[in-house]
Amino acid sequence: MGQRLDLHQLLKTFTENVYFQPPTNVQLQYPCIVYKRDYADTKFADDAPYNRTLRYMITVIDGDPDSTIPDKVAAMPMSLFNRFFTADNLNHDVYSVYF
């Protein structure tokens, strides 16, 4: 599908604060989206790879439990809801997205 920078630009249309694999010393601004690469799906033919699609773990972090940002991520093509949890009074919606 697309490149990581294309995904980054798409996520920035959902919220201004988007972070790719942020180091621990970065102070996150909320609401935000944090994402990282976590898998690659490779298709083979005649024992050779012919197609590889990267999967990203996308986490929406927001203090508002009724935020619309998770709905926007969920509406992306090839988006799968993974889990929800709260930590430090922040809501975390986690998705797996092939891009």
Query: Per-residue pLDDT tens for 41-97?
Result: 999 999 999 998 999 999 999 999 999 999 999 999 999 999 999 999 999 999 999
Position 2 scores a pLDDT of 58
Helix (H) or strand (E) holding 88: none
The reported pTM is 0.90
The C-alpha atoms of residue 43 and residue 53 are separated, in whole angstroms, by 9
Pairing of strands 18-20, 32-45: parallel
Domain ranges of the chain: 4-59+68-98
In this structure, the chain runs to a length of 99
